[in-house]
Amino acid sequence: MSAEEGFVTTGEGLRLFYRKLGTGPIVLIPNGIYLFDDFRHLADTRTLLFYDVRNRGYSDGVRDEERLTGGVNNDVDDLESVRKHFAIDRLDLIGHSYIALVIALYALKYQGCLRRMILIGPIQPFAGKKYPPHLAGADGTLDRVLAKIEQLRNQQSSDNPQEQCRKVWDLLRVIYVADEADVDKIKWDRCNLPNELNFRSYWATYILPSIERLALTHKLLKTIDSPTLIVHGAKDRSSPYGGGRDWASSLSNARLLTVECAAHAPWIEAPKIVYESMNTFLAGSWPDAAEKISCV
């Protein structure tokens, strides 16, 4: 099955790169090109539409500060531009990591255009909230990896930016799996692309501050009634598992699929349960293993 590729142009004139695969109901996956090979088999019964958000991947880079300060809120409106471009009546959405938050923000602003959503390893809904070690994947791995990255950046090196990027990713990917035997399955770096080389600065200057400015509350999130499946590794060090439980207890129509022996990429470490659950949910039913969370 071959994929269609092209660009969507937003109202601001930005071009967003997309890759489209399959036939049938459309499932939109923002910032999901790095998931293409892992998720492509889900296109057996539906159309998967992956795209790079602004300033990422093959999409247009943005240098005008006025078009960057909105951070994740820009991504929300760009998502709506993609929906309109493909004339999708009601969306199914899949988001991983901080893009899961983008999807939830989209649900708050454009809920009438949303059918159901899957949040995988979502960043916590309440910025700054601290979780106990068993809900935060606090096993020391994250601190060790960040220390090694800082040491690498402080070293004198003749590496070109792409090689430096790859060395950082070789260290980072250890964070994303519970079992280091799965490290080589993390292939997210795309260090050949200028946008990805510059992402750290973009994240720190615009994306993270915009997330920290959000004032999400349980009451506000309860207004989202679209069926939502949260898939979260219990050993996630990047997005605390406690945050996944917060999402499940705050959204009015959500269930949590806990993947016990997985970290930030649960589909890699437990493919059978994750893929089967995603297929079941997108077909209109709750997976058996997904549970309601009434409190955290």
> What's the pLDDT at 67?
87
Q: 178 in a domain, yes or no?
A: yes
Neighbours of 263 (CB within 10 A): 28
Q: 293 in a domain, yes or no?
A: no
Which structural domain range is residue 56 located in?
Answer: 4-282
**46-58 per-position pLDDT tens digit:** 999 999 999 999 9
**276-295 per-position pLDDT tens digit:** 999 999 999 999 999 999 86
Q: 145 in a domain, yes or no?
A: yes
> What's the pLDDT at 144?
95
Q: What is the CATH number of the domain that holds 233?
A: 3.40.50.1820
Q: 260 in a domain, yes or no?
A: yes
- Average predicted confidence (pLDDT) for the chain: 95
Q: 263 in a domain, yes or no?
A: yes
Q: 287 in a domain, yes or no?
A: no
Total domain count, the chain: 1
Q: 288 in a domain, yes or no?
A: no
pLDDT values of the chain reduced to their tens digit, one per residue, 296 residues: 689 999 999 998 999 999 999 999 999 999 999 999 999 999 999 999 999 999 999 999 998 888 899 999 999 999 999 999 999 999 999 999 999 999 999 999 998 999 999 999 999 999 999 999 999 999 999 999 999 999 988 886 777 889 999 999 999 999 999 999 999 999 999 999 999 999 999 999 999 999 999 999 999 999 999 999 999 999 999 999 999 999 999 999 999 999 999 999 999 999 999 999 999 999 999 999 999 998 65
Q: 290 in a domain, yes or no?
A: no
Q: Quote the pTM value.
A: 0.96
